Amino acid sequence: MRILGIDPGTRITGYGIIDVEGNRLRHVDNGTIKTRSSDPLPLRLKTIYDDLAAILKEFSPQAVSVEQVFLAKNPRAALTLGHARGTAVLAAVNLGLEVHEYSALQVKSAVVGYGHAAKQQVQQMVKALLNLPEVAQEDAADALAVAICHANSRTMKQAIRNGR
């Protein structure tokens, strides 16, 4: 199964694609979609949508996982981040894909084993789990972590269904 993980942001949206073969994880691609902060928000959202739609078409994932919006101290920042997240969800749903959502706590727990792990710990575990030659850029590493979280969650759900 191919999974696209997305770490949404209006300035930088990270994406990471992995393949799951049994209990093995294989890195396919990762990167970032960058927008100009000087552009109006609607134009930035269009860039995110267009780039994600192209990535979805190129890599044909079977599942998409997105990090949920955290509760920010600044309500305006949380609202703006919600726009980017909604744009990412729309790009996937428009192609008929299911979208799975995970909190930062769930992602960190699935990848590091501790829900309050530091960003550097998450990046190092992503590198180790996917056998990457170097640590991925921060937003791309976060997106890969979201994809890994979905892979682990999916495996757990299958085990529960199978009575293990």
Q: Which pLDDT does position 72 carry in this prediction?
A: 60
67 included as an active-site residue: yes
Q: How confident is the model at residue 148 (pLDDT cuts 50, 70, 90)?
A: very high
* Residue partners of 66: CB distance under 8 A and separation at least 6: 5, 6, 8, 85, 88, 89, 92, 99, 100, 101, 102, 146
7 included as an active-site residue: yes
Question: Among 15-19, 28-32, 52-56, 131-135, whose mean pLDDT is lowest?
Answer: 131-135
Which residue in 51, 101, 138, 139 is the catalytic one? Answer: 139
Q: Which pLDDT does position 107 carry in this prediction?
A: 95
Q: Which pLDDT does position 156 carry in this prediction?
A: 52
Average pLDDT, the chain: 91
* Residue partners of 22: CB distance under 8 A and separation at least 6: none
Using the predicted structure, report yes or no on whether residue 163 has a pLDDT greater than 70.
no
Using the predicted structure, report yes or no on whether residue 155 has a pLDDT greater than 80.
no
Which residue in 19, 50, 51, 67 is the catalytic one? Answer: 67
139 included as an active-site residue: yes
Sign (positive or negative) of CA dihedral 42, 43, 45, 49:
positive
- Over residues 91-98, the mean pLDDT reads 96
Edge-to-edge order in the sheet of strand 99-102: 24-34, 12-21, 2-7, 63-67, 99-102
The DSSP-derived string for 93-139 is HTTT--EEEE-HHHHHHHHHS-TT--HHHHHHHHHHHTT-SSPPPHH
Q: How confident is the model at residue 23 (pLDDT cuts 50, 70, 90)?
A: confident
- Over residues 88-104, the mean pLDDT reads 95
Q: Which pLDDT does position 159 carry in this prediction?
A: 44
Domain spans, the chain: 2-161
Query: Does residue 52 contact residue 33 with C-beta atoms inside 8 Å?
Result: yes
Q: Which pLDDT does position 71 carry in this prediction?
A: 61
Query: How far is Cα 116 from Cα 82, in angstroms, rounded to an integer?
Result: 22
At 38-91, the pLDDT tens digits run 999 999 999 999 999 999 999 999 999 999 876 667 778 788 889 999 999 999
Using the predicted structure, report yes or no on whether residue 160 has a pLDDT greater than 80.
no
- CATH code at 2-161: 3.30.420.10
Task: Specify the pairing of strand 12-21 against strand 24-34.
Answer: antiparallel
- Over residues 138-152, the mean pLDDT reads 96
Which pair of structure tokens corresponds to residue 140? Answer: 């791309």
